[in-house]
Amino acid sequence: MIEKELKSLGIANICEGTSTGKHWFSNGETIVSTSPVDGKNSGRVSCTDKSDYERLVAAARTAKQEWANFPAPQRGEIVRQLGEKLRLHKSALGKLVSYEMGKSYQEGLGEVQEMIDICDFAVGLSRQLYGFTMHSERPEHRMYEQYHPLGIVGIISAFNFPVAVWAWNATLALVCGNVIIWKGSEKTPLCSIACQKILAEVLIENSLPEGISSICTGAADVGRWMAEDNRIDLLSATGSTKMGKQVAASVASRLGKSLLELGGNNAIIVTAHADLKMTIMAAVFGAVGTAGQRCTSTRRLIVHEDLYAQVRDALIGAYQQLKIGNPLNTTNHIGPLIDVDAVKNYLSALKEIKKQGGKILIDGEVLKGEGYESNCYVRPVVAEVENHYAIVQKETFAPILYLIKYRGEVSEAIKLQNEVAQGLSSSIMTNNLQEAEYFLSHRGSDCGIANVNIGTSGAEIGGAFGGEKETGGGRESGSDAWKAYMRRQTNTINYSNALPLAQGIKFDF
């Protein structure tokens, strides 16, 4: 299905196991990349063993000083070239993302565009790594702060965004003067290899050290090596809250730095003053986009009682129009879940909804027959529930939307929204200015992302991305997220002939 794309990306031979690139292909056990689209194997990738890992860390350590010595705008030029190559490969890489992960082709293209956008952002950033100056209390002294590269940045990414999240981290880390080591998801290894191949070409064309960027492939053991390795100056990890807690504990035990982007249990609040058409559009895409496998997917729809029946009926009508099938067919709205384990979690959640007292309005099932041979296609579900149900409090990576009724003022809805352990994305649908401002105030949403009259899913690269509570507290992508990839240093310069002490302390002898 994607042979032409693999060839255009230069990784067809790698998938056949006939190439062993020095720092982007390994010699350990084999992972088979099986597409959830049709259940077919699209390639075999060797896992990183411990000797491979030591070799690539050594290469990174060798390269990091040379790379840090390049002026930041020159580092930005390398990232600009990466962006140009991504433009050339957008269609092929987007199709690979769609086929290997299962999201729609349009979403695959959107993910690659996000990579291009963050390259552009990082290029501009390379000339804006600002420090600060401040007045000293001592005469003829100058104080300022500046930022230096950390060294080696480790990146652990998840299957649901197999290329974009790497780019968020990689581009910023690179322009900040760091080298990178990436562990992509073992469920989407071809996407990782394709991205590394594209960046490796840029490095080779500019006669730069190969160790500036490396990848390692494998399961949790490889991530554990990175978390426990004090040579990794920053570990940025995206995935489940369970995984993030393990990473955080390991990195903290060595007093290292971590940047965590973890689970979400995102809600859209629909007040009595909401626009119904906009609400349904936002809720449906948020709930079923990427088959509900985004960290920003809409899990809960908290609706005022005055509008509840209209929203419920409109949702049922909209869901009946959704087309489920091969995501490379652009007439389909929903592709498959990532694998049969995800399907099991989906089915388990449906049982729990009923067991805990919920009412399923649109029933779920695993689709069978022609076009569904992978057994990974499921029907999206809408269920009436109470916010306190244990299954509602848990993040289920599947297209399950919980419909929750609230009464009274918007503060009651916000209380329901905030009564979960996660704090990534949130939204309110309202044309009432007071409700919108209350939602955005310190009394409102406790999430890292709070939107008005748009859904929870889909973030622009210009703003910092991340959340609070069990979402981890990290920030990636735009705004001043670049500071996480650098170490901060305060400098004081005395240009006088005396040595006055701070706080007026006298020390004469």
What integer pLDDT is reported at residue 509 of this predicted model? 81
CA-to-CA distance for 375 and 367, rounded, in angstroms?
A: 7
**Looking up tokens 């950390």, which residue turns up?**
150
The answer to whether 333 and 288 have CB atoms below 8 angstroms apart is: yes
What integer pLDDT is reported at residue 508 of this predicted model? 83
The answer to whether 221 and 186 have CB atoms below 8 angstroms apart is: no
Dihedral sign, Cα of residue 335, residue 337, residue 340, residue 343: negative
CA-to-CA distance for 308 and 380, rounded, in angstroms?
A: 20
3-state secondary structure string across 205-251? HCCCCHHHEEEECCCHHHHHHHHHCCCCCEEEEECCHHHHHHHHHHH
In single-letter form, the type of residue at position 479 comes to S
Q: What is the dihedral of CA 173, 13, 326, 92, to 10 degrees?
A: 50
CA-to-CA distance for 135 and 40, rounded, in angstroms?
A: 65
Q: Please give the structure tokens belonging to residue 136.
A: 């000293």
CA-to-CA distance for 344 and 308, rounded, in angstroms?
A: 31
**Looking up tokens 């199709």, which residue turns up?**
95
Give every CB contact of residue 415 below 8 A, 6+ residues apart in sequence.
none
Q: What is the dihedral of CA 51, 54, 55, 57, to 10 degrees?
A: 160
Dihedral sign, Cα of residue 353, residue 456, residue 475, residue 290: positive
The residue ranges of every structural domain in the chain are 3-262+472-489, 266-461
Active site residues: 261
The answer to whether 76 and 175 have CB atoms below 8 angstroms apart is: yes
Put residue 405 in one of left, alpha, beta given phi > 0 → left and psi -120 to 50 → alpha: beta
Q: Please give the structure tokens belonging to residue 242.
A: 């369970």
What integer pLDDT is reported at residue 15 of this predicted model? 52
Classify domain 3-262+472-489 at the CATH superfamily level: Aldehyde Dehydrogenase; Chain A, domain 1 (3.40.605.10)
Strand ranges (DSSP E) for 285-392?
Answer: 298-304, 359-362, 381-384
Each residue's pLDDT expressed in tens, for the chain with a length of 509 residues: 788 888 888 887 655 433 333 444 455 689 999 999 999 998 899 999 999 999 999 999 999 999 999 999 999 999 999 999 999 999 999 999 999 999 999 999 999 999 999 999 999 999 999 999 999 999 999 999 999 999 999 999 999 999 999 999 999 999 999 999 999 999 999 999 999 999 999 999 999 999 999 999 998 999 999 999 999 999 999 999 999 999 999 999 999 999 999 999 999 999 999 999 999 999 999 999 999 999 999 999 999 999 999 999 999 999 999 999 999 999 999 999 999 999 999 999 999 999 999 999 999 999 999 999 999 999 999 999 999 999 999 999 999 999 999 999 999 999 999 999 999 999 999 999 999 999 999 999 999 999 999 999 988 999 999 999 999 999 999 999 999 999 999 999 999 999 999 998 998 88
Rounded to the nearest 10 degrees, the angle between the axes of helix 189-205 and helix 90-101 is: 160
Question: Which of 173, 253, 204 shows the shortest CA–CA distance to 85?
Answer: 204
What integer pLDDT is reported at residue 17 of this predicted model? 37
CATH for 266-461 is 3.40.309.10
**494 beta partners:** 141
Give every CB contact of residue 207 below 8 A, 6+ residues apart in sequence.
none
| H or E element, residue 355 | helix 340-355
CA-to-CA distance for 378 and 199, rounded, in angstroms?
A: 36
**Looking up tokens 């498959």, which residue turns up?**
336
| Strand duo 422-423 + 468-469: pairing | antiparallel
CA-to-CA distance for 307 and 429, rounded, in angstroms?
A: 12
Question: Which of 363, 322, 326 shows the shortest CA–CA distance to 346?
Answer: 363
CA-to-CA distance for 142 and 165, rounded, in angstroms?
A: 40
Q: Please give the structure tokens belonging to residue 303.
A: 């609706």
The answer to whether 131 and 147 have CB atoms below 8 angstroms apart is: yes
The answer to whether 85 and 137 have CB atoms below 8 angstroms apart is: no
Q: Please give the structure tokens belonging to residue 33.
A: 């990349």
Q: Please give the structure tokens belonging to residue 328.
A: 């490379």
